[in-house]
Each structure stands twice: as structure tokens, then as C-alpha cells.
Structure 1
Amino acid sequence: MGRPRGFDEVAVLDASVKQFRVHGFADTSTEQLCAAAGVRRSSLYNTFTSKDELFIRSLERHISITLEQQESILADADLPGGERLVTLFALVLDEERAARSDGHAAGCMIVASRMAPDIGTREPRVQRILDRFHDGQLSLMMGAVRAGRLDGSLRADVSPRAAALMIVSAISGIRVLAQSGTAVTELRKVADLHLESLRA
């Protein structure tokens, strides 16, 4: 049986991403997904066959959008390398600020999936998707750090890979702190400390 007329697959994926980001795989019910997407259970499963499949498709979309956003910042040749990192942290903090106004943290499917290895064990595609994201994100970060070393906005004595890994861990940490209720003003201070450690 085909999808009902008016079924917007992309809109369903975007709605599902929001649920999985905040609640994780295990604590997101099919009922929550249907309510968030505004579709019936039968329509959801006619298209995605299972919650696992919907999660994978949602993770792929979330990663695609996240990498696209980060690339637009980290590969921006009009910005000094250091300013690219400032802008990236600003994006993360703006997401947390917006989510907080809705009564929750922005969450992160990527961090949550890494911290739930049973998902990857049950479905190997999850691990491959996460590894692909990690490689892509690290490459973008390293490119921005190299640019900063060349333009003098970032320290030349820190390796691009070490700096990139620190930034990745800082963003992941900010996501976790946000979910624990840490105020955005304090998250800003955490970001500033990491940025200050890299400035020339």
C-alpha cells in the first residue's frame, strides 16, 4: 500500500529528528513520533517499516544537515580561522538557547547514539553513519584550525588534529551539560575557555 497523499517524508524525518535528539532512541515512543510528525502509525510504518529504520533515516538526515551547517562556517574563506570556531560555538549555543525557551535542551542524536552502543550492535549502519560524520566533522575542524594558524588567529604550536578533537569534545560536552540543566550563560563561558586556549 502506498503512502497517503500529502505525506511529507522530509517533514516526518525532521519531526523525528527533534524527538530522537531530545529523548534518544529508547525513550522515544512510536506514539511520540506520530504525534510530532502529525501522521498515523500505519502511514509511518508503510513508509519506514520500523522504528529502527526511521531512526537510521533520521540520523542520516540530522548528520547531513549538521555537516552542511558546519561546512558553511568552517570552510568560509572570508572568515579568519579563529572566527570560524567562534561562529561554530555561537551556532551551538543559539540552538541551546532556542531549545531552552521550549523547555528542554537541544539534545544530540550523535552523542546519544555514541553513548548507546547497543544501537550500533543491533544495526551496524548506525556505527558507519556515526564514523562517517566523525571523519567529516574532524576534517572540517582541522581545515579551520590550519587556516587560523596561517592567518595568525590561532596558536601555531597546537596540532590541527589535537585542536579539532578538543573542539569536537567541547561541543559534545556542551550538549551534555545543557541536558543536565546548565544555564546557557555558563555554557558560553565553557565555550570561551576552549576558544581562549587556542587563540594566538
Structure 2
Amino acid sequence: MARPRTFDEKTALMAAARTFRRHGFADTTTEQLCTAVGVGRGSLYNAFTSKDELFIRAIEAYLQALSEVEHEVLGDPARTGAERLQGLLDLVLEEEENAARDGHAAGCISVATLMSPDLRSRDERIGKLVEEDRSRRHEAVKHAARIGQADGSVTRDDAPDGIAWFVSGLISGIRVNAQAGAPIKVLRRTAATGLRALRP
């Protein structure tokens, strides 16, 4: 008979995702995961089978939660296109500011996974999840850019697709700079400078 679970699975997966984001897959230890989730080693692997399986489940849960939050911002009809893009960057900056209070960067599963072919090759589901998330966000940002070009808040000098790639690069740069130790005020200036480039 399976042992009763002493934790909420969604909460556990999000805690594991935060740990993987901070340390990366290779450098995240079982002890760190047990501490984050709040269970012992036996209970952890009874619930999730292996570190690899927990990583995949954690990515899936994190990206789903992120998608829901971003959809609220990028699909908000009460905002101009530029305000939607600003809102997306505000989400990133808020995460980094909260993480900085705890003495570290938030990290980014998507960037870390895209930059680690060996990690993606461990299981085809990993690359598929990250690529689907990248594609979803890309299309959502393209839509926000189109809205902005129509309402006059976003420059028409670049195609929506190019703007989406620019915003993706801006977010990735902010994430990497945060991990390199850039203070939040620098990250905010970086975001502001990037957004100015998208003004008409």
C-alpha cells in the first residue's frame, strides 16, 4: 500500500521548481529538494520516482503557473500594447526583487534548459516543454506588439515577430544579469531602456 502523502503535490512541485531554478538541475541535491518540499528522501522518491521525473514534473507545474499569470497581463484588454509588455517585464523584475531579498537570483528554468543540450537530451519531454513555453510566450508578445502598433503605443519600425524576439532577449538578459549579481536597480534600468526602444 502506498504511503499517504503528507504534502500538497502542487505546492511541492512549485517548491522543487524554485530550487531547480536557483541551483540548476545538476547542482540541485536531493537534500535541497527534500528541504524545499518538506519531506524525507523516501517520501520524495515514493511520490516522484526520481530526480529526473521530479524535474520534469516541476518544470511542467512552473510553466503552467507562469503561463496563467502572463496570460492575465499580455491578454488584458484594459491595457495598451505597451502596458502589456511593461507588465510582462514587471513580473520578471518582481520575481528578481523578491529573490534578491533572500540573497540570490530567481533563476530561469527556460534559459538554463535551452543553454544545456545535455539536459534536454536526458528526456525528450524536457525540450518539448521548454519549446512549447517559449513558443506560447513568443506568440503572446507578438499579439501584444500588434495591439500596441494599432493603438499607437508601440513602434511600427519593427515587425511584431522581431519585437517578440527582442523582448525575449531582454528578459533572458535580465535573468542572466541577476544571476551575475546585478542589483535590482540596474535590472530595472535595463528593462526601462529596452522598453524605450519600443516606443513610437
TM-score (structure 1 length as normaliser): 0.97
User: 2:30 corresponds to which residue?
Assistant: 30
Q: How does 1:2-17 map to 2 (within 5 A)?
A: 2-17=2-17
Letter aligned with residue 107 of structure 2: G
Tell whether 2:191 aligns with 1:171.
no
Matches within 5 A, 1:137-148: 137-148=137-148
Identify unmatched segments of 5+ residues in structure 1: none
Deviations 1:33-61 (A, max 9, x none): 00111101111111111000000000011
Whether contact under 8 Å (1:4, 1:43) holds in the other structure is: no
- 1:162 maps to amino acid: G
Structure 2 match to 1:181: 181
2:67 corresponds to: 67
Structure 2: which 5+ runs fail to align?
none
Look up the match of 1:190. Answer: 190
* Amino acid across the alignment from 1:83: E
Find out whether 1:97 has 2:97 as its counterpart. Answer: yes
Q: Which residue of 2 aligns with 1:123?
A: 123
Secondary structure at 1:18 match in 2? helix
- Report the 3-state secondary structure (helix = DSSP H, G, I; strand = E; otherwise coil) of the residue aligned with 2:121: helix
2-side partners of 1:24 and 1:120: how far apart? 13
Tell me the SS of whatever aligns to 1:106. coil
Is 1:20 equivalent to 2:20 in the alignment? yes
Q: Distance in 1 between the 2:180 and 2:190 partners?
A: 15
Runs of 4+ in 1 over 4 A off after TM superposition: none
User: In structure 1, what is the equivalent of residue 112 of structure 2?
Assistant: 112
